[in-house]
Amino acid sequence: MNDSGLTTKTLKVFSLVCLCIFLYMETACVWPAFASTSEDNPAAPPSQIQTTLTADLAALRNPDGMMLVAGGYQRWVQETAEEGVPARYTQTGFGLGVNPAYAKGSLQGEWQPAIFFNLRLKYDLYRFFGTNAGLLSFPDADAKFGRHEIEDREGTEEKATGHRVLLQPTFYGKAGPILIMNQTDLAYYRFSGDGPYFLDWEYDTLVKDGDSVLANRTQFLVPSWKGPGAAVLYAGPYYEITHAVDADITRQRVGGQVYWVPADTFRGMNKPRIYSQIGINIQDRNRQGELYMAIGVGADFNL
């Protein structure tokens, strides 16, 4: 339905290859390191509980957007690894987010059976305000939804609700000092608007009511600076691919990123963070060859 040369079959093959590579890396590299550190760091007692509140503010460019998110989680730690990092745990949490176009509430559960694998299940409820391009309907999957097309649809936004169920497995690997993360999103959507296709801002794609979006991102993080406690600066490249199943829309991005924790604590905040991404859309129906940017700040508050 679009000019993409990448099919759903190719995406599945790519995801399978990534999975196999990371399973090998975790078995050959991460697990032996984890086992050795476990001998030096005794397991945390099963009753260890961590309760944390979080807050983040992020802004995007191309497409433009901003989101304020606050939430919290409770974590039951079964085992810790190097420097007290939780290696095995279960977790439940909630989140509340708002921007000028919509608000959302989230419930999630998380399970990490080993230091190299994490699985998250999340439910999001959206409420679109009917302004600021919050929820726009499109007649078919071939419709364009670039910057000018969005501007032309001003005033046609719908007041509606949306639902998303997200399954998100994440694999972690390490090659020398380089941290490697591979994360996959399996998202299912429902909307109450007119449709039949809707613009989803989180993945910047067209989604049909009852449709799914697949996304896979690989990040390489090099520790460029280490301060006292949890203070650290990571930098490195990333690659991301997303695919809306029914609309058959695929986007690919490649770029660089920075994640900086300048201090272990600051004015009551735990692990204050600044993070940024800049990349180029190497495959995108509306923005191919254009830059994408994101920047955010946040902090945790341990109770």
pLDDT of residue 49: 93
Predicted pLDDT of residue 82: 74
Which carries the bigger pLDDT value, residue 193 or residue 74?
74
pLDDT band (50, 70, 90) for residue 22 = very low
pLDDT tens column, 117-171: 999 999 999 999 999 988 999 999 999 999 889 989 889 999 999 999 999 999 9
In angstroms, the CA 91 to CA 118 distance is 11
Peptide bond into 196 cis (omega under 30): yes
Domain annotation covers residue 2? no
- pLDDT of residue 114 exceeding 70, the answer is yes
Q: Judge whether 301 lies within some domain.
A: no
Question: Which residue range(s) make up the domain with 217?
Answer: 8-296
- Residue 17 above 90 pLDDT? no
State the pLDDT at residue 134: 86
Number of domains in the chain: 1
Q: What is the mean pLDDT of the chain?
A: 86
Q: Give pLDDT, residue 195.
A: 87
Asked whether the predicted pLDDT for residue 182 surpasses 90, the reply is yes
- 302 domain residue, yes or no: no
Amino acid at 141: A
Amino acid symbol at 30: V
Task: Let me know if residue 181 belongs to a domain.
Answer: yes
Tokens standing for residue 169: 């497995």
> If you compute the radius of gyration of the chain from its CA atoms, what whole number of angstroms results?
20
For residue 141, being part of any structural domain is answered with yes
- How many C-beta neighbours within 10 Å does residue 88 have? 17
Q: Does some domain include residue 3?
A: no
Predicted confidence at residue 229, as pLDDT, reads 83
Q: What is the CATH number of the domain that holds 137?
A: 2.40.160.40
Burial environment of residue 163 by CB neighbours within 10 A (0 to 12, 13 to 18, 19 or more): middle
Instruction: Kindly tell me if the per-residue pLDDT of 181 is higher than 90.
Output: yes
**Alpha carbon distance 72, 79 (integer Å):** 21
245 contacts: CB under 8 Å, gap ≥ 6: 8, 211, 212, 213, 214
- Per-residue pLDDT averaged across 247-262, rounded? 96
Residue 219 domain flag: yes
Strand partners, 73: 52, 93
pLDDT of amino acid 164: 98
**Distance from C-alpha of 224 to C-alpha of 235, rounded to nearest angstrom:** 7
Residues comprising the chain, all counted: 303
The 3-class secondary structure across the chain, one letter per residue, is CCCCCCCHHHHHHHHHHHHHHHHHHHHHHHHHHHHHHHHHCCCCCCCCEEEEEEEEEEEEECCCEEEEEEEEEEEEEEEECHHHCEEEEEEEEEEEEECCCEEEEEEEEEEEEECCEEEEEEEEEEEEECCCCCCCEECCCCCCCCHHHHHHCCCCCCEEEEEEEEEEEEEEEEECCEEEEEEEEEEEEEECCCCCEEEECCCCEEEECCCEEEEEEEEEEEEEEECCCCCEEEEEEEEEEEEECCCCEEEEEEEEEEEEECCCEECCEEEEEEEEEEEEEEECCCCCCCEEEEEEEEEEEEC
What is the predicted pLDDT for the residue at 295?
97
Of 24-33, 131-140, 292-301, which one has max mean pLDDT?
292-301
**AA identity, residue 114:** A
Task: State yes or no: pLDDT of 18 exceeds 80.
Answer: no
User: pLDDT band for position 61 (50/70/90)?
Assistant: very high
pLDDT for residue 88 is more than 70: yes
Task: Assess if residue 1 is contained within a domain.
Answer: no
Instruction: Please write the tens of the pLDDT for every residue from 200-234.
Output: 989 999 999 999 999 999 999 999 999 988 899 99
pLDDT in the model for residue 133: 87
73-86 pLDDT, tens digit each: 999 999 988 767 88
